Amino acid sequence: MYLKTNKEKYNIIIANTLHKRLTGLMGVKNIDYGMFFPKCNSIHTYFMKENIDIVGLDENNMVIYKYENLDKNRIIKVNYPIKKTSILEMPKNSTQKIKIGSILKFNEE
């Protein structure tokens, strides 16, 4: 699936396996895609090579939380029930036009 933001199209990988959920974007350089973590309300940026943007979404993909250019070695928890929350990790500065309250529309290729 993909997401269009800031006039760019980003491929989105769904973290639907234990390995993907544990590693996310750790160790990745030159990040040019996003990772979607369903039923997740916290992430960390330990072992990251780059800063990233974080978007917290409710069960309707409405933005309820956002961090831009989040530094390495941080822990982020969205104060919303885990079963109703998803987190989207994106390349740094890629979510500038996304506002809290917006509904994100993911598209299939």
Provide the number of structural domains found in the chain. Answer: 1
The reply to whether 60 falls in a domain is: yes
Read off the pLDDT band of 81 (50, 70, 90): confident
Q: Answer whether residue 42 is part of any domain.
A: yes
- 58: its two tokens: 């409710």
**What does the CA dihedral 10, 15, 16, 22 come to, rounded to 10 degrees?**
160
Residue 67 is assigned to a structural domain of this protein: yes
The pair of three-digit structure tokens given for residue 30, joined into one six-digit string: 């030159």
CATH of the domain at 17: 2.60.120.1140
pLDDT tens digits, residue range 26-60? 999 999 999 999 999 999 999 999 999 999 999 99
The whole-angstrom separation of Cα 6 and Cα 67 is: 16
* Domain containing residue 70: 2-91
